[in-house]
Amino acid sequence: DELNARKRLSLSDLIFQAGMTIKPAAFIRNSIIFGVVLFVVLVIVQVPFYFAAIFAVAGGYLLPRFYVSRRRKKYQDRFLDELPNGVDIIVRGVKAGLPLGDCIKVVAREAREPVATEFRKITETQVMGISLAEAVQKLPDRMPLAEANFFAIVVAIQQKAGGGLAEALGNLSRVLRGRKAMKRKIKALSAEAKSSAAIIG
């Protein structure tokens, strides 16, 4: 499960983790505009004034945040789908004798989004003088998923203690693919159970 799923995210964190570039102030402004437009529409269709005000405030606050939450979930799902491929690219590069930093740059160029963007941020962080291990440790902050944390932990251990990085990341890739397959199986079973319940109902 997501590492910070039980924590209440701030608006800026929610927007950041959804891969959006809009500023929180602009998001709040747009939410207010949406609430005002919703209020006007409700008044035009002759909804009582006080109900229109309540619905407009609720809609202006909840609906934009619901949209960002949905976008964040889709962004994370796409990241999980591509992460094993990105790890495989690193494994092949390490086996070919490339340094880990160069392998991460290859992922940033060749992987699909949003993995390419997230790994590009790792390389951009390194440019500011931060070590590779510290730059990778920032990945779970942007992508609060157990899988991202697994990757950061493997890299951190290898950077501190040495050892076979290719073998460790190869094992991680298999674990990530196994977790992805298990999640799909659980989703299929839950969908089947929901369909059965709906039919019985």
CA separation for the pair 39, 47 (Å, rounded): 9
Give the C-alpha distances (Å, rounded to integers) separating 168 from 23, 80, 135.
39, 18, 19
Q: Which tens digit of pLDDT belongs to each residue from 120-170?
A: 988 888 777 788 888 888 888 888 888 899 899 888 888 776 667 888 888
**pTM of the full predicted structure?**
0.75
User: Does the pLDDT of residue 29 top 90, yes or no?
Assistant: yes
With residues binned 3-state (H G I as helix, E B as strand, rest as coil), the percentages for the chain, rounded to 5, are 80, 0, 20
Q: How confident is the model at residue 21 (pLDDT cuts 50, 70, 90)?
A: confident
Q: How confident is the model at residue 20 (pLDDT cuts 50, 70, 90)?
A: confident
CA separation for the pair 152, 115 (Å, rounded): 14
CA separation for the pair 90, 169 (Å, rounded): 8
User: Does the pLDDT of residue 199 top 50, yes or no?
Assistant: yes
Give the C-alpha distances (Å, rounded to integers) separating 106 from 6, 93, 113, 119.
34, 9, 13, 9
Q: Which tens digit of pLDDT belongs to each residue from 55-92?
A: 999 999 999 999 999 999 999 999 999 999 999 999 99
Q: What residue type is 110 in one-letter code?
A: E
